[in-house]
Structure 1
Amino acid sequence: MDIRQLEAFVYTAKYQSFSLAAQKLYLSQPTVSSHICNLEKELHTQLLQRTTKALSMTPAGRRLYSYAAEILDLRHKAILELTSQQEATLHIGVSSVPSLHLLPELLAAYHAQAPEVRFRTSCSDSLDVIRRVSEGGCDIGLADTKTAAPGCGFLPVTSDELVLAAPNTPHFREYQQQKEPLRALLREPFLLREDNSGTKQETLYFLRNMGLSLDELNVIAVMDDAASLIRCITLGMGVSILSRATVQNDAQSGRLLLFPLGQSAFLRRLYIVYPSARRMSEQTRRFLDFMKEYYQTGQRQA
């Protein structure tokens, strides 16, 4: 039994797919199958039940999975703690809203306290941030949604209001005179965030509450970059539902008009995404403790 065999087994069981496990491990599918076959031979028991339609763990497989997952977690933690370069660098995954709204001030505050720490940040959608923390690709994350991701915890840190943003033109300024302009605004050309965006998920929730579906909107673009989407709105392409924090400066400078959604349900939460205790390095633990104190003391408000 070796680490490669355990990785192949855990990833295959986790994703219920040999091909997905191979993709995540950067191996060929036959190699993954071979690792699991050799592991079953060594243990003299079947670990995975294979059929043409499904893949599941046997009772023996479920018992091994808990041990194997813990071994891999401990291995990951040992690498982080014993490799000086990684120990000195925090890998932070962040979605677009926290990237603009939380991250710069947070990093500046932590740098003032721990100037020896180096940071490496990567921006993607919320679900990708959560996935990377879950799989060990990032030490910690900031996201605008939460899921039931294995091995992850979520700590709400601040609130974020969603608004409908529109170009500041005479046509859209007329909507400001209406008592309830939202339904009419939603008939305008609409720019939408990508599928894995937390903002996209909240937009769909808002539409359901309005008794509308996405098919009823005139969606002219789906964009994965929030800054580009905002720029398109300022140029008059259409409207979108976005975080107030990301568009406030454009509104104050007169480039955008903001229309509140009018429901407290759209004061959503932003979250710290952190790995389970057994996978967390001491460096990550110190940063997490700092963030907890930072937001509890009210140094940063939404």
Structure 2
Amino acid sequence: MEIRQLKTFMSIVKFGNFSQAAQFLGYTQSTATTHIQLLEKELNTVLFERFGHQLMLTGDGERLYDYAERITKLAEEAKNVLDDFSIPRGPIIIGMPESLCVYRLKDLLKEYAAVYPEVELKVKLGISSDFHNMLRKNMMDMAFFLEEKIQEPDLVSKLLWPEPVVLTASPNHAFSRFAGVQVSDLGGQTLIFPDSGSSYRTLLEESMEKAAVQPGNVLEICQIEVIKQFVMSNIGLTILPQAAVQNELTAGTLVALPWLGPEFQINAYLAYHKDKRLSSTIQAFSKLVQERLLK
């Protein structure tokens, strides 16, 4: 029993004859006749009988008509649901570093949630190494990265923009009066870092290790706002994306030190796993990122 056969059957009932029903459906009359014959053979019954020139439903035909209406209606609803799959809906999980979420992407996330109210947007904060694993395990749909470059062959990545990174101090720190700060100057200093695994922290630590420079103390704090408060209190120095400290730099409560050491080349990327099925929800998010952030 096929949907098209049931539609032919219902059209014949509606028009009262085979020829008009066939014309309405775009079939030849012989095709419409074949549909009914196949139905009757499968159901082992007769669906129509003639009284003179009038075509009438048999008792089995009347019973089938009720089922045919329900079946074709359900089929149409299923088709509509699948057609509407182009409308973003359902959950999407996006990973991003705290600095990007708070200082770069708030407006974009707000707009996406407003434009696609049927999407359940979930944001996971973390570091790049965590995102790599979660994308590979399909625990996350897409992720933003702050890296020098992404080289993993199983990730499809889009370069978004270069992300400036600054070594930051209180205006009361002695370094704020230096004409330039070198790696060797960091020996014995208190450094305040975000979680281990952040690319900019790693770059600074690698440059210090290469120069055999040891800090005096290292404080690891997971929240950027707390880090900034510590630095403003002149407890130590930190390295952060410039976007995360721009308000404080403008207000003069923090200063960007003139760094003379190795250049920190950090870029923002949006990436997903190469085997990820790109639903309309994911595609809509990616499109919004490109429209709003790549102008």
TM-score over 0.5 for the alignment?
Answer: yes
1:244 aligns with 2:232: no
How far apart, in 2, do the equivalents of 1:294 and 1:251 lie? 25
How far apart, in 2, do the equivalents of 1:245 and 1:185 lie? 25
How far apart, in 1, do the equivalents of 2:204 and 2:285 lie? 32
Q: Could you list the per-position Cα deviations for residues 59-109 of structure 1 after superposition, in whole angstroms to 9, with x for gaps in the alignment?
A: xxxxxxxxxxxxxxxxxxxxxxx99xx942221111122122222022123
- Residue identity over aligned pairs, in percent, reads 18
Question: What's the TM-score once normalised by structure 2's chain length?
Answer: 0.61
Q: Is the partner of 1:216 in helix, strand or coil?
A: coil
1:144 is displaced (CA, Å) by 0.6
Q: Could you list the per-position Cα deviations for residues 30-69 of structure 1 after superposition, in whole angstroms to 9, with x for gaps in the alignment?
A: xxxxxxxxxxxxxxxxxxxxxxxxxxxxxxxxxxxxxxxx
**Residue in 2 aligned with 1:98?**
100
1:29-40 residue pairs with structure 2 within 5 A?
none
**Residue in 2 aligned with 1:123?**
125
Name the stretch that deviates more: 113-122 or 230-239. 113-122
| Unaligned segments of structure 2, at least 5 residues | 1-83
1:184 is displaced (CA, Å) by 6.4
How far apart, in 1, do the equivalents of 2:275 and 2:291 lie? 18
Structure 1 residues 184 and 175: alpha-carbon distance in aligned structure 2, compared to 1, 3 A threshold: farther
**Contact 1:193–1:199 (CA<8 Å) still a contact in 2?**
no
Structure 1 residues 259 and 168: alpha-carbon distance in aligned structure 2, compared to 1, 3 A threshold: same
Q: Could you list the per-position Cα deviations for residues 231-260 of structure 1 after superposition, in whole angstroms to 9, with x for gaps in the alignment?
A: 221222111121111111122223212114
1:142 is displaced (CA, Å) by 1.1
Structure 1 residues 260 and 245: alpha-carbon distance in aligned structure 2, compared to 1, 3 A threshold: farther
Structure 1 residues 96 and 199: alpha-carbon distance in aligned structure 2, compared to 1, 3 A threshold: farther
**Residue in 2 aligned with 1:48?**
none
**Residue in 2 aligned with 1:197?**
198
**Residue in 2 aligned with 1:29?**
none
**Residue in 2 aligned with 1:180?**
180
**Contact 2:167–2:256 (CA<8 Å) still a contact in 1?**
yes
How far apart, in 1, do the equivalents of 2:115 and 2:262 lie? 36
**Residue in 1 aligned with 2:110?**
108
Structure 2 letter corresponding to 1:131 = N
How far apart, in 2, do the equivalents of 1:163 and 1:202 lie? 12
How far apart, in 1, do the equivalents of 2:247 and 2:240 lie? 13
Structure 2 letter corresponding to 1:279 = R
How far apart, in 2, do the equivalents of 1:219 and 1:154 lie? 36
How far apart, in 1, do the equivalents of 2:261 and 2:231 lie? 23
In angstroms, what is the RMSD of aligned CA positions? 3.0
Match of 2:162 among 159, 162, 173: 159
**Contact 2:171–2:255 (CA<8 Å) still a contact in 1?**
yes
Question: What's the TM-score once normalised by structure 1's chain length?
Answer: 0.60
**Contact 2:169–2:176 (CA<8 Å) still a contact in 1?**
no
| Unaligned segments of structure 1, at least 5 residues | 1-81
**Contact 1:192–1:219 (CA<8 Å) still a contact in 2?**
no
Q: Could you list the per-position Cα deviations for residues 159-187 of structure 1 after superposition, in whole angstroms to 9, with x for gaps in the alignment?
A: 21111111222xx2x43443223346513
How far apart, in 1, do the equivalents of 2:121 and 2:196 lie? 28
Residue correspondences, number = 210
**Residue in 2 aligned with 1:285?**
283
Structure 1 residues 156 and 262: alpha-carbon distance in aligned structure 2, compared to 1, 3 A threshold: farther
1:204 is displaced (CA, Å) by 2.9
